Amino acid sequence: MINMKKLIEISEVQRTYSIKRKLLEEWKVQFEELEVEAEKLSAFFQRNYENKMIQDNFPPELQELLENRLEGIRLSAKTATRLKRKLNNEKPLEDPPKGFIPIKKTNSNPILELVEKDNQSIFLNFFEEEVDEIIKVNRDQVELLQVDIEMAEKRFFQFIEKALAPIMDGLYNGKLHAKELVIYTNDSFPDYKTEVIEWVSIYEELMEEVNKLLKTYFVGLLIPEKGDYFDELKHDPIAVVEDTEYHNEQIKELVRYGYYYKKTINNQKNFIIRPAQVTVVKNLLEKPADKEKSGHRDEGDINEV
Amino acid sequence: MTIIEKNSPYILGIDLGTSNSAAAVYRQGKSEVIKMGKENTLPSVVSFRSEEEVQVGENAKRKILIDPENTVSFIKREIGTEWKKEFFEKEYRAEDISAEILSKMKELIESQEQFDMRGTPNFAVICIPANFDDNKKKATREAAQLAGLNTLYLLEEPVAASIAYASEIKRDQTILVYDLGGGTFDVSVLKVDTVDDNEPAKFSVLSKEGNPNLGGYDIDKLLMKYICEIFQTESEVNLLDLEADQGISVSELLKAQESVREASEQAKKDFSEVDITNIEIPNLIKDEFGKIHSIDIELTKDEFEELIKDIIQETMDTVSKAVENAELSNQDISRIILVGGSTRIPLVKKEIKNFFNKEPYSNIDPDIVVAQGAAIYGAGLGVPSEETENTNEALEEDQPDSKIIMDNIVTHNLGIEVTAGRFNRIIEKGIELSEDQPIVSNEKQFSNSEPNMTSMRITVFQTSEEVQYVTDEHCICIGEFYLSGIPEGEKNEHRISVKFEVNQQNEVIVSAQLLGSESISNQITIQRN
């Protein structure tokens, strides 16, 4: 005999299916949009690279240094041209699985009438097996949908990590070297300082454009500060260095940004797509510092550009 | 009154790997991997943060570099050895570390929302390498016990992979399992008899070979070195040399190395799908003259394959040996199953195809196939009868429709230590243990090497290789006992019979008896599996 529990169960499966199907459709739309955005970003990079001039009036040494920097920008622009291809490299999302028995189809069925009337079953012995079958079939469909959603998530995160992040990494390195170039120019060619500062602003412009795209898709940057305490949830240590100015496990340097997803995914907030890469201090003579006392930042304390 | 949740009827199939671990259960007619958080696998790394706080998995992995003193990886290599280490004034053995990994897996399984485990996970089939000796098997069992898991069976990894495969294609086949892990390579040849759905599937191990010093990491290293060499030609910067005077700080070189390592790994993966890949790392490093160098290399699959061909050839030599030891020809192998992420490299598939004249089976995820096979085997075993009262009843839809019978071979030469530390073999490696011959036994006679020896120590050893002396690195002591009460007498006066028996449960029973005096005897039972 069908009881209320069964009826709630069938409704619950129907509801879950609708939610997941909607989610998968959203992912499909998002990938289509992302494809367009990737093209736009690539064009932006190319345009900025092509428009970047090195003025003839710069001293030859400075011209040579800037030519060298321009080569790095050319390579970033070249990498950006592959963004769309990298997005499509994975298998494209398929349509939601077919085979789900929708409520509409069971409209003429007393099961649904029962749901509507919120009544106890007295006539439905006959339909018990049918209800069980519907629940089973639909539950299988929900599982298939879940697999597709997970694939979409994976594809998106891989795009961020393997396609966008390397571009950002290159620009971040370029920006660090640019700072040194500005200092050098100030020392060696002070008359050209302003022009060089203007010239190297291209790194910021390109990074900002990548970041705009990331923000649109709810991806935040993890940018730990020098002196922040190492947090294995958000940071990936690449090297340990000695520096008595710092306590053990304090961050000495940010090597490359990390990325996190701002939307909730699998009940998890701030899912880390890629931790920030850092160098961490470890002095031979010091014991690990007391994190509480040293201003350790708790989970969820995430920097954003 | 305390409410205690009943045990889950699902038997966990666990692949307790050297680098990563995975778990699966058999459910609704198929083996299903249980997510370890967001991933299919959990890094087998443990980090001790304080007396109470232990981290396992990805977070622990990130501690390897900054807190190596309190972080352990690759513990599987040490299990069953004398390895011990102190963390926060508490001593840990390798089995204790493995127990931490298993506990974490159990915790993640309990908290997952993928499906209802219908109780506390309690029973497991744990996978072990084909060449694990008795001490390693015992230690693995103990690790599981410490983690609150009841080990129903220790299943050899290649057998598990074959089971996962055979569950998909039900045919009478001879299977070769090619397992290229991160740091090791193993080949096993098995006969899988699944002719009739109504009869139990029968798995017989025909041969096992391996190379403990060869793995996927070697391929990564080669590719990274190759890229660094090209970079050096163009930039005159040697990224791999941290000691040379290049005017670049070690920290800068390490950062650049890490970028190249990641790019190499990605390039390796790319070659599974494309024939050409671009390795582009803008602004990688600044040299001592202020010039910034980038990497912009186009790498073809042909170049990559040329680079790694010797490694792959080495694996094929081992494959050839395994087929030969199974007394088969290449044509006798009906399926080749690939295990381990590095088997995704097209050259592996190409060489296998050249060797066997057939494509390897590629419909199984090589990262999780072992756990999946263990789950199927576990479901066939079911919950032990004495535990059914404390366990929720298994659903009919979660029961496998066929049973599995396991035939095996004696994996090691077994013997005792005799005069001058020599190894005297009593049971030979490779003898078949089957339904028809469930026990293998052999007996040899020895004498007293000294006059008036009233007690004799019998020390039992096993070795995977042919050895002369028990001091050989391959020779491992697995137990010892004494035969006492021998009457005083001349040298060589007494005859002592030593008998070895290996049974289907993989136990070794060693007995010694003074000939002519039945009362003077003793024996030891060494649990193997």
Which sequence spans correspond to the domains of chain B? 11-168+362-406, 216-305, 410-526
Has residue B121 got a pLDDT over 50?
yes
Sites in chain A below the pLDDT cut of 70: 1-3, 89-129, 285-305
Nearest to B62 among A166, A174, A232 (CB): A232
B289-318: per-residue pLDDT in tens? 999 999 999 999 999 999 999 999 999 999
- A241 and B251 within 8 Å at the Cβ level: the answer is yes
State residue B506's pLDDT score.
65
Q: A277 — contact with chain B (CB < 8 Å)?
A: yes
Q: From the CA of B10, how many Å to the nearest CA of chain A?
A: 19
- Asked if A14 contacts A126 with a C-beta cutoff of 8 angstroms, the reply is no
Structural contact between residues A111 and A2, judged by C-beta atoms closer than 8 angstroms: yes
**Per-residue pLDDT averaged across B407-436, rounded?**
86
DSSP run (H or E) holding B378: helix B369-381
Alpha carbon distances (Å) from A212 to A30, A207, A216: 15, 9, 6
Q: Does A235 touch chain B (CB under 8 A)?
A: yes
The domain B216-305 having CATH identifier 3.30.750.24: the answer here is no
Whether ipTM tops 0.85, in short, is no
Closest C-alpha among B25, B23, B59 to residue B41: B23
Contact present, A208 and B34 (Cβ < 8 Å): no
Question: How far apart (Å, rounded) are the C-alpha atoms in residues B293 and B284?
Answer: 6
Q: Please give the average per-residue pLDDT across B352-372, as a whole number.
A: 90
The confidence band for B411, taking pLDDT boundaries of 50, 70 and 90, is confident
Q: Which of B63, B251, B296 sits opposite A279 (nearest CB)?
A: B251
pLDDT confidence of B392, banded at 50, 70, 90?
Answer: confident
Looking at this protein, which amino acid is placed at residue B516? G
Whether the per-residue pLDDT at B100 is higher than 50: the answer is: yes
Helices within B52-119 (DSSP H only):
58-61, 94-111
3-class state of residue B119 by DSSP: coil
| Residue B373: pLDDT band with limits 50, 70, 90 | very high
Choose the CATH number for B11-168+362-406 among 3.40.630.30, 3.40.50.2000, 3.30.420.40, 3.40.50.1820: 3.30.420.40
- Asked if B160 contacts B13 with a C-beta cutoff of 8 angstroms, the reply is yes
Which pLDDT score is estimated for A297? 39
Work out the pLDDT band at B328, boundaries 50, 70, 90. very high
Set of chain A residues whose Cβ sits within 8 Å of the Cβ of B291: 68
For B297, the closest chain A residue by CA position comes to: A75
Contacts of A125 (CB under 8 A, 6+ apart): A1, A2
* pLDDT above 50 for B129: yes
Please say whether the structural domain B410-526 has been given the CATH code 2.60.120.1440.
no
Q: Which residue has the tokens 């693995």?
A: B140
Look up tokens 């959603």; give the residue.
A149
**What pLDDT, on a 0 to 100 scale, did the predictor assign at position A95?**
63
Both structure tokens of A201: 């602003």
**Quick one: A297 exposed, middle or buried, by C-beta within 10 A (0-12, 13-18, 19+)?**
middle
Other beta carbons within 10 angstroms of residue B435's beta carbon come to 11
Residue B457's pLDDT band (boundaries 50, 70, 90)? very high
pLDDT at B181 over 70: yes
pLDDT tens digits, A89-147: 555 566 666 666 665 444 455 455 444 444 444 344 446 667 777 788 888 888 888 88
Q: What is the DSSP letter of B392?
A: P
Rounded to a whole number, what is the distance in Å from the CA of B291 to chain A's nearest CA?
Answer: 7
Residue B453 has pLDDT above 60, yes or no: yes
Question: CA gyration radius for chain B?
Answer: 26
Superfamily for domain range A219-305: Head domain of nucleotide exchange factor GrpE (2.30.22.10)
Average pLDDT over residues B166-191: 82
**Among the partner residues B113, B259, B294, nearest to A71 by beta-carbon distance:** B294
pLDDT recorded at residue A102? 61
pLDDT band (50, 70, 90) for residue B460: very high
Q: Compute the mean pLDDT over every residue in chain B, rounded to the nearest whole number.
A: 88
Find out whether A136 and B226 touch, Cβ atoms under 8 Å. Answer: no
Could you tell me which residues come within 8 angstroms of residue B270 by beta carbon, excluding any fewer than 6 positions away?
B277
Can you tell me the distance from the alpha carbon of B341 to that of B22, in angstroms, rounded to the nearest whole number? 13
Q: What is the pLDDT of residue A286?
A: 57
Residue B207 in this model has a pLDDT that exceeds 80: yes
B11-168+362-406 and B216-305: same fold?
Answer: no
| pLDDT for res A3 | 64
pLDDT at B25 over 80: yes
Structural tokens at position A147: 């697999």
Phi/psi-derived region of residue A56, left when phi > 0, alpha when psi is between -120 and 50, beta in every other case: alpha
Shortest distance between the Cα of B162 and any Cα of chain A, in A, equals: 25
B284 touches chain A (CB under 8 A): yes
Q: What pLDDT, on the 0 to 100 scale, is given for residue A96?
A: 60
Instruction: Work out the average pLDDT over B346-356.
Output: 94
Mean pLDDT of B59-82: 90
**Which has more confidence, B203 or B93?**
B93
pLDDT at B267: 92
Radius of gyration of chain A (CA): 28
Angle at B494 between CA B490 and CA B499, to 5 degrees: 150
Pairing of strands B508-514, B495-502: antiparallel
Domain ranges of chain A: 4-217, 219-305
Please state, in angstroms and rounded to a whole number, the distance separating the CA atoms of residues B165 and A136.
26
- Give the pairing of strands B46-48 and B71-72: antiparallel
pLDDT digits (tens, 9 = 90+) for A155-164: 999 999 999 9
- Distance separating alpha carbons of residues B360 and B349, to the nearest angstrom: 6
Closest by CA to B106, choosing from B72, B56, B38, is B56
When pLDDT is cut at 50, 70 and 90, the band that residue B1 belongs to is low
